[in-house]
Amino acid sequence: MSLHLEHLNPEQLAAVTLPEGHALILAGAGSGKTRVLTTRIAWLLKQGSVSPAGILAVTFTNKAAREMLTRLAAMLPINPRGMWIGTFHGLCNRMLRAHHQDAGLPRTFQILDSQDQLAAVKRLLRSMNADEDRFPPRDVQYFIMGKKEEGLRARDVPLADDTTRRFVDIYAAYDEQCQREGVVDFAELLLRSFELLSRNEPLREHYRARFRHILVDEFQDTNRLQYRWLKLLAGEGASLFAVGDDDQSIYAFRGANVGNMADYERDYKVAKVVRLEQNYRSQGNILDAANALIANNKNRLGKNLWTAAGAGETLRVFEGQSDMDEARWMVEEIKALQREGSRLDQVAVLYRSNAQSRVLEHALFSAALPYRVYGGLRFFERAEVKHALAYLRLIASPADDNAFLRVVNFPSRGIGARTVEALQDAAKAAAGNLYETALAAPGKAAPFVALIESLREETEGFTLAEKVEHVVAKSGLLEHYKAEREGAERIENLNELVNAAATFNVEDAAVDSGEDADPLTAFLTHAALEAGEHQAGEGQDALQLMTMHSAKGLEFNAVFVSGLEEGLFPHENSLLDKDGPEEERRLMYVALTRARKRLYLSFAQTRMLHGQTRYNLPSRFLDEIPQGLLKWLTPRFAEKPRPVSHFTAGSFTRAPKRDPRFGGAPAGTGGAGGAFRIGQNVVHAKFGSGVIVDAEGQGNDARVQVNFGRQGVKWLAVAVAKLQAA
* Catalytic residue selected from 17, 34, 338, 424: 34
* Catalytic residue selected from 139, 188, 218, 582: 218
Distance CA 169, CA 185 (A): 18
Asked if residue 172 lies in contact with residue 156, where contact means CB atoms within 8 angstroms, the answer is no
Amino acid at the residue 527: A
- How do strand 183-185 and strand 543-547 relate by DSSP bridges? unpaired
Asked if residue 67 lies in contact with residue 37, where contact means CB atoms within 8 angstroms, the answer is no
* Catalytic residue selected from 40, 275, 358, 594: 594
- How do strand 272-276 and strand 315-322 relate by DSSP bridges? unpaired
| Angle made by CA atoms 10, 16, 17, in degrees to the nearest 5 | 90
Q: Is 55 exposed, middle or buried (0-12, 13-18, 19+ CB in 10 A)?
A: buried
Distance CA 275, CA 286 (A): 19
Distance CA 159, CA 157 (A): 6
* Catalytic residue selected from 33, 303, 406, 596: 33
* Catalytic residue selected from 139, 217, 325, 583: 217
* Catalytic residue selected from 87, 220, 248, 613: 248
* 451 backbone φψ class: left, alpha, beta (φ>0; ψ -120 to 50): alpha
Instruction: Give the residue from 680, 677, 678, 687 showing the smallest Cα distance to 721.
Output: 687
List all residues 6 or more positions away from 10 whose beta carbon is below 8 Å from its beta carbon: none
Q: CA-based Rg of the chain, rounded to a whole angstrom? A: 29
Distance CA 646, CA 506 (A): 29
Amino acid at the residue 663: G
Q: What share of the chain is helix, strand, coil (3-state, %, to 5)?
A: 50, 15, 35
List all residues 6 or more positions away from 715 whose beta carbon is below 8 Å from its beta carbon: 703, 704, 705
- How do strand 703-707 and strand 688-696 relate by DSSP bridges? antiparallel
Q: C-alpha distances in angstroms, 608 versus 131, 463, 504, 507?
A: 37, 16, 12, 14
Instruction: Give the residue from 220, 342, 82 showing the smallest Cα distance to 586.
Output: 220
Distance CA 50, CA 36 (A): 18
* 335 backbone φψ class: left, alpha, beta (φ>0; ψ -120 to 50): alpha
Q: Is 684 exposed, middle or buried (0-12, 13-18, 19+ CB in 10 A)?
A: middle
Beta strand extents in 449-561 (DSSP E only): 543-547, 556-561
| 34 in catalytic set | yes
Cis peptide before 411 (omega within 30 of 0): yes
Torsion of CA 550, 554, 558, 562, to 10 degrees: 20
Helices 488-507 and 464-474: crossing angle, nearest 10°?
Answer: 160
| 594 in catalytic set | yes
| 33 in catalytic set | yes
Helices 224-234 and 201-210: crossing angle, nearest 10°?
Answer: 80
Asked if residue 505 lies in contact with residue 519, where contact means CB atoms within 8 angstroms, the answer is yes
Helices 186-199 and 88-98: crossing angle, nearest 10°?
Answer: 50
| 248 in catalytic set | yes
| Angle made by CA atoms 688, 690, 694, in degrees to the nearest 5 | 140
Distance CA 10, CA 19 (A): 16
Asked if residue 349 lies in contact with residue 550, where contact means CB atoms within 8 angstroms, the answer is no
Enzyme catalytic residues: 33-34, 217-218, 248, 594
